[in-house]
Amino acid sequence: MSDDCSFGENVTLDEVYKTVDLSISQYRDILAALESFGESLDKVDSERISLFAEELRQRQQQAAEIDAEVERGVCALNCRDATLEAALERRTRVMERVREHNQLLSEKIRGMMSVISDELTQSRTGKAAMSGYRGQDQGKGSILTSIF
């Protein structure tokens, strides 16, 4: 890193670089969680999907807060630094991988939901069809009690 930059708002290049590293780490954690959840997707139920979605929202909120710090720091610097630019490029690549995995996982979950919805519809249709086969006297008791 070069220290020959002019800094604004008392922000140092080293501080911004550390914040970018923190951002990269946060996105790598999100990526690892997405990959792990994706591998176990066939073994989870709707409650686990909801819990993971909430966990993912929290992680994304943390990433957004760190990203805001990165943006403030980069904007406060009045210089170009090759090391910082390389770190920002690494961050962009990790963010793109997170977006791709998130999209794939979302598509898989939507597919699962569609299959479950179809199964529920078929089940309801089957129950309605079966109710047509019930006899008129059902629920009134047995033949012996109806004679007396």
pLDDT tens digits, 41-65: 888 887 888 899 899 999 999 999 9
Q: Is the pLDDT of residue 106 over 90?
A: no
Dist. CA 6–CA 80, nearest whole Å = 10
Burial of 103 (0-12, 13-18, 19+ CB in 10 A): exposed
The arithmetic mean of pLDDT across residues 112-129, rounded, is: 72
- 81-102 pLDDT per residue, tens: 899 999 999 999 999 999 999 9
Q: What is the per-residue pLDDT for 33?
A: 95
Which pLDDT score is estimated for 22?
Answer: 97
User: Binning pLDDT at 50, 70 and 90, where does residue 2 land?
Assistant: very low
Cα–Cα distance between 148 and 146 in angstroms, integer? Answer: 6
- Among candidate residues 25, 23, 13, 32, the one with its CA nearest the CA of residue 102: 32
